[in-house]
């Protein structure tokens, strides 16, 4: 096979074919004329987070997709105050574009509603859409719908991104749909020109695949940053463990963002999907625990990457026992 001579992406060029999609119906449909433009923009951002939810298996027991979008993330994305962010969420919930449910002791989950569906059509779609149900939300966690005015647990920074519907689409590419003729008081009868890519980019499956992969990788890296409170932990320039924390972050990204069949943990091959799932649940406490264990280790480590990968994988299963043993030793070890 002849090797293709393809160009590199430089700087911000990697983002030039990535777009947020705002449904035209939100502008033209009379049902949505009373909600603010910022609320419509927020709905578009929520739609953008749907595909990662699908890839991560975030379905409830009725096969409905949900997203996680913290209030802090909304404030950062829209550059607005907390009061404004809450107000926008209220608008979307009041008109029925989103449902927000409280999970006991955990961050809220958000159901982004289909703006064109209703009634039995939605029920039919839930049966026809394909999606792998993974770790569904339990009845005792999600059946209580939460009103925005209660302002429950939005502060938990567990967001998780991207776009997705039941239709097949290329992430980052604005699809050409049925022809839409806009009639602005019959001043001009002109057809709307959809944003489209040049034939060179659309017809090149390798380039499209790369764009898709970059989209997903960026989303996962951002999710991992939020899960481990990366920005908060790294904000202290005097923290002596900053470099170790950075290395663990990079290692987690490497494990999650590079698909493979298996990953070796403690000399055994584990399914990539299992390891990826556990690594996406790691938080700052787990990383600090691994750093502490590394500091206390006095034996020679020949393969440091394999050692740290195993330590991160086992951290959620051993952290509580470790600290319990430490407490028992401090309290009773000298008696």
pLDDT in tens, 28-46: 888 888 889 999 999 999 9
Q: What is the pLDDT of residue 231?
A: 87
Give pLDDT tens digits for 234-287: 888 888 899 999 999 999 999 999 889 999 998 899 999 999 999 999 999 999
Pairs from 163-168 (Cβ < 8 Å, separation ≥ 24): 163/21, 163/47, 163/48, 163/49, 163/50, 163/51, 164/50, 164/51, 164/52, 164/53, 164/54, 164/55, 164/65, 165/47, 165/50, 166/125, 166/128, 166/129, 166/130
Q: Rounded to an integer, what distance in angstroms lies between the CA atom of residue 303 and that of residue 60?
A: 40
Q: What is the pLDDT of residue 174?
A: 38
**Arithmetic mean of pLDDT, 151-179:** 39
Query: From its phi and psi, is residue 240 left (phi > 0), alpha (psi between -120 and 50) or beta?
Result: alpha
The two tokens of residue 48 are: 């953008």
- Give Dmax over CA atoms of the chain in angstroms: 91
Burial zone of 234 (CB within 10 Å; 0-12 exposed, 13-18 middle, 19+ buried): middle
Calculate what percentage of the chain has a pLDDT beyond 70: 62
Residue 57 banded pLDDT, cuts 50, 70, 90: confident
Residue 134 banded pLDDT, cuts 50, 70, 90: very low
Give pLDDT tens digits for 71-109: 888 999 999 988 898 899 999 999 999 998 876 545 578
Angle CA(198)–CA(203)–CA(207) in degrees, nearest 5?
A: 90
Q: What is the pLDDT of residue 124?
A: 53
Cα first-last separation, the chain: 73
Map out the domains of the chain as residue ranges. 14-198, 228-332
Angle CA(31)–CA(37)–CA(38) in degrees, nearest 5?
A: 125
Q: What is the pLDDT of residue 237?
A: 82
**Arithmetic mean of pLDDT, 195-210:** 43
The two tokens of residue 83 are: 């009061």
Residues written for the chain:
335
Q: 223: closest CA among 21, 90, 51?
A: 51
Angle CA(320)–CA(325)–CA(327) in degrees, nearest 5?
A: 95
Q: What is the pLDDT of residue 208?
A: 42
**Arithmetic mean of pLDDT, 187-215:** 45
Does the structure show a pLDDT above 50 at 154?
no
Does the structure show a pLDDT above 80 at 183?
no
Lowest-pLDDT range, 88-102, 242-256, 303-317, 320-334? 320-334
Could you please report the per-residue DSSP string of 268-310? EEEEHHHHHHHHTT--HHHHHHHHHHHHH--S--S-HHHHHHH
Burial zone of 201 (CB within 10 Å; 0-12 exposed, 13-18 middle, 19+ buried): middle
Which of 50 and 184 is assigned the larger pLDDT? 50
Q: What is the pLDDT of residue 146?
A: 45
Q: What is the pLDDT of residue 275?
A: 94
Q: What is the pLDDT of residue 173?
A: 37
Render the burial of 115-136: b for 16+ CB within 10 Å, e for the rest: beeeeeeeeeebeeeebeeeeb
Q: CA-CA distances (angstroms) from residue 250 to 144, 160, 285, 308?
A: 38, 18, 17, 11
Cα within 13 Å of Cα(87), Cβ side? 10
């Amino acid at each position: 096979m002849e090797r293709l001579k393809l160009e590199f992406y430089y700087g911000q060029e990697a983002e030039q074919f990535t777009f947020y999609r705002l449904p035209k119906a939100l502008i033209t449909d009379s049902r949505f004329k009373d909600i603010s433009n910022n609320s419509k923009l927020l709905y578009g951002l929520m739609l953008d987070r749907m595909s990662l939810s699908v890839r991560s298996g975030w379905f409830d027991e009725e096969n409905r997709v949900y997203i996680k979008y913290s209030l802090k993330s909304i404030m950062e994305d829209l550059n607005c105050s907390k009061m404004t962010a809450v107000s926008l969420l209220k608008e979307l919930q009041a008109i029925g574009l989103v449902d927000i449910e409280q999970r006991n002791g955990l961050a809220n989950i958000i159901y982004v509603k289909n703006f064109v569906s209703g009634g039995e059509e939605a029920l039919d779609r839930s049966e026809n859409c394909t999606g792998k149900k993974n770790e569904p939300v339990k009845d005792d966690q999600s059946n209580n719908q939460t009103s925005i005015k209660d302002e429950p647990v939005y502060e938990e920074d567990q967001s998780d991104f991207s776009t997705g519907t039941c239709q097949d689409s290329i992430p980052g590419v604005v699809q050409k749909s049925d022809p839409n003729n806009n009639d602005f008081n019959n001043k001009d009868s002109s057809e709307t020109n959809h944003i489209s890519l040049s034939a060179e980019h659309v017809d090149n499956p390798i380039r499209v695949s790369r764009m898709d992969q970059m989209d997903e990788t960026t989303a996962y890296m951002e999710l991992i940053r939020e899960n481990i409170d990366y920005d908060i932990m790294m904000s202290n320039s005097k923290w002596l463990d900053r470099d170790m924390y950075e290395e663990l972050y990079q290692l987690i990204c490497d494990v999650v963002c590079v698909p493979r069949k298996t990953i070796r943990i403690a000399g055994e091959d584990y399914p990539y999907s299992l390891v990826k799932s556990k690594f996406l649940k790691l938080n700052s406490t787990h990383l600090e625990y691994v750093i502490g264990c590394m500091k206390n280790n006095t034996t020679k480590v020949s393969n440091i990457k394999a050692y740290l990968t195993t330590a991160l994988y086992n951290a959620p299963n051993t952290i509580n026992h470790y600290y319990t043993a430490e407490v028992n030793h401090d309290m009773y070890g000298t008696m």
